[in-house]
Copies of this chain bind each other. A is one copy, B any other.
Amino acid sequence: MVKVNENYANLAQNYLFAEIARRVSAYKAANPDKKVISMGIGDVTRPLCKAVTDAMSAAVAEMADAATFQGYPPAVGYDFLINEIENYYTSRNIPVKAEDIFVSDGAKSDTGNITDIFSNDNSVLIPDPVYPVYMDSNVMLGRSISLIDATEENGYLPLPDDSTKGDIIYICSPNNPTGATYTRDQLKIWVDFALKNGSVILFDAAYEAFVSDPELPRSIYEIPGARGCAIEFCSFSKTAGFTGTRCGYTIVPSELEFGGVKLAKLWTRRQSTKYNGTAYIIQRGAAAVFSPEGYAQTRENINYYRENARLIMDFMDKKGISYTGGQNSPYIWLKCPDGLGSWELFDKLLNSAAVVGTPGAGFGKNGEGRFRLTSFGSREGTVEALGRLDLIF
């Protein structure tokens, strides 16, 4: 008799964004005349840039011709893309080599699937609040999970102390949902902790392109020693608007090993057994992000979202609502006004202003009383949403 994976019964009942979608659908059904503006789920709205769509159109044409048709891709990515990614790091003097780079269909897949290469007999340390996938993918494996508090007091940037324990440590910086970003000195404390304790840091850098302060690190490999303790996850979703196009990459340094086993070897085996590579057309589009035109065009989109973030921050400043993020992150993490709970604020914004945000409680207990807004909307939508919020605060 088949036994299902019983750990799934321990997952929180509703995936955060599914519950939001449910409430928004109910509101829309009851208010068909209202135009709902989403500042909730972190999805982008700017179209793909011309350099990317030109490259994908050319790749589609190649696939239509027997002479240039591409079959199975390499499981870990085409060299033409891996080399561009290597250059992207090298140009910033960050020590990442082609052999460390694994292309995939996105950081969400990789942060979930990376769990495969570790024993379930590891302790897992996850910040609270944080992106739900870290927690859920480990709950599915029945692993021992402990939380480290990210709070207003520590600026949502927790650091380890002598009591901190964790074989596998998740860090997301710039953070989703808080927008808080570790300094080099702070990240060095984590790297030193991991090296001392034989821990691995799983560093989610999905929002690195939004860092505007040149003093802040955009890769954990800017920290000496990180190649000996850290895996980094990167995404084209927010950098280049690939949420619907699906491409990301993961850095597993070639020398990173535990118990004499190289993690890059395990990850290669995992990917070549349970993944068949990322579509040629998509990888051609991703490679174009690094061309001079592609870089300029994607930066233009990022600056567009930054201006949205500035408008949201100005609004919060004017209303005296405290927040983190916005400056080096597409997310603004605010303290719910009037002592509201985070789902209460969600319902208030939805019902009074037809504006959708994300309740902080969905990201962990320390998210209660907090709320996430994103800068990924259109300019018009962002301005209109702030105008509506102006009437209720």
Residues of A within 8 A of B (CB): 1-6, 8-9, 11, 15, 18, 41, 43-48, 50, 53, 56-57, 60-61, 63-66, 69-73, 105-106, 108-109, 112-113, 116-119, 121-122, 132-133, 136-137, 140, 167-168, 197-200, 241, 243-246, 258-259, 261, 263, 266, 269-270, 272-282, 378
Q: Is the CB of B64 within 8 A of A47?
A: yes
Nearest-CB residue, chain B, relative to A133: B273
User: Could you say which residues of chain B place their CB within 8 Å of the CB of A70?
Assistant: 244
Do A280 and B245 touch across chains, with their CB atoms under 8 A apart? yes
Bound: A270/B5 CA distance, A: 11
Q: List 16 A-B contacts (CB under 8 A).
A: A2-B118, A2-B168, A2-B198, A2-B200, A3-B259, A4-B263, A5-B266, A6-B119, A60-B60, A63-B244, A69-B244, A71-B244, A73-B244, A132-B273, A137-B273, A246-B277
Q: Nearest 7 pairs between A and B by C-beta?
A: A112-B274, A1-B198, A43-B71, A3-B119, A70-B244, A53-B64, A2-B258
Quick one: which of B71, B133, B259 contacts A45, CB cutoff 8 A? B71
With contact pairs A4-B258, A109-B275 given, residues A47 and B63 touching in the complex (Cβ less than 8 Å): yes
In the complex, which residue of chain B has the Cβ closest to the Cβ of A266?
B8
The residues of B that contact A244 with a CB separation of less than 8 Å are: 63, 69-73, 279-280
A105 (CB) vs chain B CBs: closest residue = B105
* Residue from B9, B60, B72 within 8 A of A53 (CB atoms): B60
Given A46-B69, A64-B48: A106 and B4 within 8 A (CB)? no
- A274 to chain B: closest residue by CB: B112
Q: Are A61 and B69 in contact (CB under 8 A)?
A: no
Known: A11-B269, A244-B279. 19 other contacts (CB 8 A): A1-B197, A1-B198, A1-B199, A2-B118, A2-B167, A2-B168, A3-B167, A4-B117, A4-B263, A8-B117, A18-B272, A45-B69, A57-B61, A63-B245, A71-B243, A105-B105, A105-B246, A245-B279, A281-B281
Task: Evaluate contact between B2 and A199: CB separation under 8 angstroms.
Answer: yes
Task: Assess A282 versus B280: contact at CB under 8 Å? Given A200-B2, A244-B69.
Answer: no
Q: Are B2 and A122 in contact (CB under 8 A)?
A: yes
Residues of B near A50 (CB, < 8 A) are: 64
Cβ of B63 and Cβ of A276 under 8 Å apart?
no
Contact A66 B45 (CB under 8 A): yes
Given contacts A63-B48, A118-B4, A263-B4, contact A274 B69 (CB under 8 A): no
**CB-nearest residue of chain B to A278:** B246
Expressed in whole angstroms, the Cα–Cα distance for A253 and B71 within the complex equals: 31
Q: A56 to chain B: which residues have CB within 8 Å?
A: 60, 63, 281
What CA separation (Å) do A60 and B58 show in the bound complex? 10
Looking at the assembled complex, report how far the CB atom of A374 sits from the nearest CB atom of chain B, in whole angstroms. 12
Closest to A49 in B: B64
A335–B64 alpha-carbon span in the complex (Å): 36
Closest B residue to A139 using CB positions: B273
Q: Which of B105, B261, B378 makes the CB contact (< 8 A) with A276? A: B105
Q: Please tell me which one of the listed residues B15, B116, B245, B274 contacts residue A109 in the complex, with CB atoms under 8 A apart.
A: B274
With both beta carbons as reference points, the residue of chain B lying nearest to A280 in the complex is identified as B244
Q: How far is the CB of A179 from chain B (nearest CB, A)?
A: 20
Nearest Cβ on chain B to A256's Cβ, whole angstroms: 10
Instruction: Using CB atoms, name the residue of chain B closest to A166.
Output: B2
Taking the closest CB of chain B, its distance from the CB of A171, in whole angstroms, is 15
CA distance A5 to B47 in the complex (A): 41
